[in-house]
Amino acid sequence: MTTEQPSIATIATSNALAARELEWAQNSPELLLEHAAINCGIVRTRFPPEPNGYLHIGHAKSMNMNFRLAFEKLGVPEENRRTIFRYDDTNPDAESAEYIDSLRRDLEWLGWEPERTTYSSDNFQTLYELAVKLIHKGLAYVCDMTKAEMEAQRDLAKRRSSALAVGEDPDVEAPIPSADILPGRNRDTPVERNLKLFEEMKLGLHDEGSLTLRLKMDFESANPNMYDLVAYRIKYTPHPHAGKGWCIYPNYDFTHGICDSLERIDYSICTLEFETRREPYYWILWALDMFRPKVYEMSRLNLEYTVLSKRRLLKLVDAHHVRGWSDPRMPTISGLRRRGYTKEIINTFCNDVGATRAMNVVQMDKLFQVARQTLADTTRRAMVALDPIKVVICNFAELAANSRDGGMTFDVQNSPTDASLGSHTVTLTEIIYINSEDFQLDSNPNFYRLTPEKPAGIKYHGGNLVCSEVIKDGMKVKELKCHLDVSEGRPKPKAHITWVPSDGILCEVRIYNHLFLEPEPSDRWEEELNPESETVHSNAIVDPSVLSLVDKKDVDKWKSNQAFQFERLGYFVVDVDTSFDSTTKEGKLVFNRTVSLKEDKAVKKVSNIEAEQKRKRDEQQRSAAAARDILMTIEPGDLFKVAPEYKGKYSAFDDTGLPTHLADGTELTKSARKKLEKDRAKHVKKFAKTNQ
Ligand code: ATP
Ligand code: MG
């Protein structure tokens, strides 16, 4: 029986462990043998989302890695692959039953089949017992430091460790006066006291925030995650899964590794921001002498023009910037589903993106391209008029009488490239509707569609539509009187426009654009939302043939997210939202655009706004550069007298030109003068470099 854990090569490249970490990460031969005997050749990963929001496409990347890619990289035969779906539910404040349900629904919808579903909270009792074990070992203690004290302690430890790293005196001043801030007054308290207090915490005898259980780790570490992590805190919030039995909850770091070990996980894969948590992960399992899975980090999926963080997405929902987690503009699995993205599209995209440690932002167009490729072969076509103009074909009766079959019905293949998808019929009627964009009053030579002067062909019927009268309602074109030219010598039209017959179905069509104006939303992301991320065409008319696939009375049928290609407009899906007014459920058909046929005007519009923003940024950069140039002409002795940044702030200077008094006459403190001296020293360097 082999007891070695092979590595996931492409991720492993930067997975070098520090010497100490290496020791903690090492499984003893006994542990390896025991693990191998239990797993019997099975290789196990896990996908552990916290139920504090809905899953997004970044999670889909993680699922693709944990359910498929990792095994492929490791060469694990299909029959030996196992993945646990774990709710990492240790923070009842942020978690809810709604999120628990949504996570499961989305995972199943994406087609992943976990070996089993577990909850971290199912291990609360075991975790508690292991914490007691650590107290017994002298590796955990109950701490009564306040949050502010702990922050100060952390800050101090950080400054000491950076001083040590550069060979400076580690005896830095404490940020707040306190007798025993580092290593803290509770660190070396007796085991009995800690057992007693921890028991009292569990029994609810102490207030929230008054006590924590901390791990006795290492304040001299370069990794702040080793500064005596809090393993347990008091919280009087009932748990959405575990119920009311607990008022102390383990934190993420304490729980995560232990659950991995208990569940016999071989490879614990997370995203790069957890890299510094690897050390405490291994420390905890080392301290408890438990099996240590191999930890790997891969880069997070970042996607242009959106945010992939549950915390930010929740803000969008709470601030009503979108209509909930499943709004089609959201990058959540449920939002994408409602927008018409199938599991094939999402999983293919994730597979294409792969899993490496390279940090990058993936272009949204990559996802769009996968969608187009997938939908092109599977959707059936239909014609729609987004903003319809009524067209009366004045010679219709005459044409109909002359046509051999007495009608104007055409058989249209559902997919022009795949006859096996069948066909549907479209029928020309005396009154038809065309899209307002296909008609223009002015005869612009670059406009190839219908104008009062220029005829246009109409799709599926060979004739030319010739406009003879325009009826307006104010400025708006309301109706066109036309005739169909079917004469032998009619001109060859430059364009064929789409149309919908008089029995077309009234519907609403929602066209989506990027949620954000910036490809990489900044810290001020809420100000960068695209105000035109959704355009609603509420009086659109669609060809009645769609009803053969969409039964208006049977909403359940639409749950399959029936998709269409609306000719010249893109791929659309029937909206299955039942929570928003004027939805499909209420009898009005609603279609969401999944993706345009190719990069469309709306996207270009965003590009224009971006171009404007870029222009502004460039201008700011130029003026900042100009200010820097001016600064470089200022002699160091005059810096505080003439540089725009300081000018007018001071009233007196010493011989070297260093300010001694503020403009209002107040004397500058020693530290303020020191800071200015530093500023001047920097300026001296730059000045010398520029003017040498
Ligand atoms: P969020 O910030 O969105 O809440 P998280 O990392 O806290 O993300 P969890 O629910 O804890 O989310 O994540 C479950 C798993 O999914 C973790 O292993 C996490 O690393 C992974 N994951 C989350 N976001 C991404 C992403 N954008 N790309 C790849 N993996 C991700
Ligand atoms: Mg999280």
Q: SS in 3 state form for 72-105?
A: HHHCCCHHHEEEEEEECCCCCCCCCHHHHHHHHH
Q: Which of 259, 256, 257, 238 is nearest to 247 (CA)?
A: 238
Pairing of strands 230-234, 650-653: unpaired
Q: How far apart are CA 362 and CA 207, in angstroms?
A: 46
Ligand nearest to the CA of 273: 1
For ligand 1, is residue 300 a contact (CB within 6 Å)? yes
Instruction: Give residue 99 CA to ligand 1 midpoint distance, Å.
Output: 14
d(CA 272, CA 252): 16
335 with 321: CB under 8 angstroms?
no
Closest ligand 1 atom to residue 51 Cα is 10
Q: Please give the Cα distance from 449 to 496 (Å, whole number).
A: 7
- Expressed in angstroms and rounded, the spacing between residue 50 Cα and the centre of ligand 2 is 6
Mention every residue, 6+ apart, whose C-beta is less than 8 A from residue 148: 176
Phi, then psi, of 44 in degrees rounded to 5: -125, 135
Q: Is 51 in the pocket of ligand 1 (CB under 6 A)?
A: no
3-state secondary structure of 361: strand
Predicted pLDDT of residue 17: 62
Q: How many helices (H) and strands (E) does the chain have?
A: 19, 29
Residue type, 494: K
Residue 374: count other Cβ atoms within 10 Å of its Cβ: 21
Residue type, 17: L
Q: Which CATH architecture has domain 384-498?
A: Beta Barrel (2.40)
- Residue 58 CB less than 6 A away from ligand 1: yes
Q: Which is it for the CA torsion 628, 633, 635, 639, positive or negative? A: negative
φ/ψ of 486, rounded to 5, equals: -115, 15
Supply the pLDDT for residue 581: 41
- Which residues are CB-contacts of 19 (< 8 A; sequence separation ≥ 6)? none
Among protein residues, the one with the nearest Cα to ligand 1's atom 3 is 309
pLDDT at 41: 94
pLDDT value for 188: 93
Q: Do 376 and 570 contact (CB within 8 A), yes or no?
A: no
Whether the CB of 271 sits within 6 Å of ligand 1: yes
Question: How distant, in Å, are the alpha carbons of 207, 408, 479 from that of 343?
Answer: 47, 40, 43
Q: Tell how far the Cα of 14 is from the centroid of ligand 1, in angstroms.
A: 20
H or E element: which one contains 125? helix 124-136
Q: Please tell me the predicted confidence (pLDDT) of residue 175.
A: 53
Q: What pTM does this model have?
A: 0.82
- Residue entry with tokens 């449920």: 334
pLDDT of residue 363: 95
Residue nearest to atom 2 of ligand 1 (CA): 309
- On whether the CB atoms of residues 260 and 46 are closer than 8 A, the answer is yes
Buried-exposed string 287-298: b where 16+ CB fall within 10 A, e elsewhere = bbebbbbbbbbb
Closest CA to 269 of 71, 26, 455: 71
Asked whether 272 lines ligand 1 (CB < 6 A), one says no
List, by residue number, the catalytic residues: 50, 300, 310
Query: Residue 153: which of 206, 209, 229, 211 has the closest Cα?
Result: 229
Report how far residue 647's alpha carbon sits from residue 652's, in angstroms, rounded to the nearest whole number: 12
Looking at ligand 1, which atom is closest to the CA of residue 50?
Answer: 10
Distance in angstroms (rounded) separating the CA atoms of residues 493 and 485: 11
Distance 274 CA to ligand 2 centre (A): 11
Q: Please report the pLDDT score of residue 4 as a whole number.
A: 59
Dihedrals φ, ψ of 119, to 5°? -125, 135
Domain ranges of the chain: 4-124+258-298, 135-250, 310-379+508-598, 384-498, 606-690
Cβ neighbours of 97 (radius 10 Å): 10
107 to each of 31, 53, 97, 317, 346, how far by Cα in Å?
32, 14, 16, 21, 12
Q: Is the CB of 295 within 6 Å of ligand 1?
A: no
Residues of the chain with pLDDT under 50: 1-2, 10-15, 177, 558-559, 578-583, 602-603
- C-alpha 600/C-alpha 437 separation (Å) is 14
* Pick from 210, 165, 217, 208: nearest CA to 187: 217
Give how far Cα 679 sits from Cα of 57, 163, 544, 646, 665, Å: 46, 22, 74, 11, 21
301 lines ligand 1 (CB under 6 A): yes
> Quick one: 264 exposed, middle or buried, by C-beta within 10 A (0-12, 13-18, 19+)?
middle
* Topology adopted by domain 310-379+508-598: Glutamyl-tRNA Synthetase; domain 2 (1.10.1160)
Q: Which residue has a Cα nearest atom 9 of ligand 1? A: 49
Residue 667: strand pairing partners = 661
CB-based burial label for 682 (10 Å; 0-12, 13-18, 19+): exposed
For residue 8, the model assigns a pLDDT of: 60
Residue nearest atom 18 of ligand 1, based on CA coordinates: 270
Question: If you compute the radius of gyration of the chain from its CA atoms, what whole number of angstroms results?
Answer: 34
Please report which helix (H) or strand (E) contains residue 563, including its range: strand 563-566
In CATH, what is the architecture of 4-124+258-298?
3-Layer(aba) Sandwich (3.40)
In three-state secondary structure terms, 322 is coil
Cβ atoms within 10 Å of 509's Cβ, excluding its own: 25
CATH architecture of 135-250: Alpha-Beta Complex (3.90)
